[in-house]
Structure 1
């Protein structure tokens, strides 16, 4: 907890020791601000739950992490709160916490266990659904508990989860009214058929966001896989919450053990219609022009090969980047957190996505020379170009360590 918040927190009585205040407690990180109307609505409800739990002797504490515009706004808002707060002056630590937990909007309530491990990033929904705190500390259900055991097939028969033993299972969140869904569904059907023809054990389950059962029936006619019965709205809602689905189409891929292989494989499938990369697990090195979806959410290393780089030198760079990417994926699996870095490449500065990124960096690249750059889009869109015309593999570890140590000069993307 001290690593997260620093040695001291603010309370209504003054400064308190972080370790003492949070020892052995479940901790809610409350990202909020006085200027935010949804925050001002949620804060009193959260305070009621907090009071109930603390009066019951539950080991629960909340730390307010302020997005207020100034110290006076923070103080006015914090005076209405019964819990602790990160000192307003700790702006760098606030930014680090927002980045670590990928906070993209407020109010956000992240629940941590006493060791600092994430219980849920969606504490707000948990409080809304359980204001009495009966389910404290709101440990999310396992996938098997929300997926259910029965699904409907195209011929109206029931298929059980036990019949899918040994299969990868993909849950497809989609709707007839959604234009991107209508475009993606035929491609997904092609991939599904290709894999089934190869004897691959895969099943897809359609989780409909259609507005009524008639639309569901019409749309499901286009699909060759299983579905949740439309009337089972509660199961669909719980699955959306479990997988953090905020938009459609979304394809969540699960392994035979029901562990999440990919929380949204839509782009991977769209760029792999021959299904050569099934089951589309985490890639250590991603082609930015094919799949830029993660670059907004992670600190990223981007290598642009350029037109004049020797192929052998380019391959050595790619091999090292891929190895580094796999190392951070492996670390993330052990810690059960997101990877600290993502790694991208592009064969040309004129690529459809790469060109936009390059254009946003002042004098960062010319089409004929390679570029190695650290992108920190979550931190307000920052970047740092490695000043060399000849990037080499041994630079990569140094760049990563310099970034972690705050030694890189970060500029603002235009």
Structure 2
């Protein structure tokens, strides 16, 4: 049902009817970009080994893989192999896409070509949002720290000054991110003081219990510098 809705969204006039699985060469057909602004037609890759890289800047495992993949890609190209990678972005904005793509030496489907990116996602069964397992792992990481801090204030018969939550990929999170002008990076540790219209942000490669606890303790000790919302 979900794929059916996406098909209709991408082809409202029915120009590609009958709808059904299409070969890769048809789905990818069109211009591809390099991060220097140059473009070439996908047909020029005929006869090449092609890897399709679904990734996004907000995804920490993706960013880690990208660094490794860049090294492997360059070694393969230096060896004279007929090989290319095509990046299919799941970034939330064109600005994030450009920032992330600037790190990549290979090709990309233009970010503005949403229909082609969507067709490639469907072709390979790629989900649009982060895996629920990542959110659950984040909850398990943060919960002991939250319980510890809440217990400390409860022992003093005081209300805890913080509420803890894990935000995933959904409309509510996007709205909150837009309203508070948070960066696209993930994982992202954030404390929002809505009454003071202030935010405290830590962009890290990996969130660990020690980092979370230090971040919260620095906030409670008023060691962090607020940014305006």
Larger Rg, first or second structure (1 or 2): 1
User: What TM-score, normalized to structure 2?
Assistant: 0.49
Higher RCO (C-alpha 8 Å, min separation 6): 2
User: What TM-score, normalized to structure 1?
Assistant: 0.28
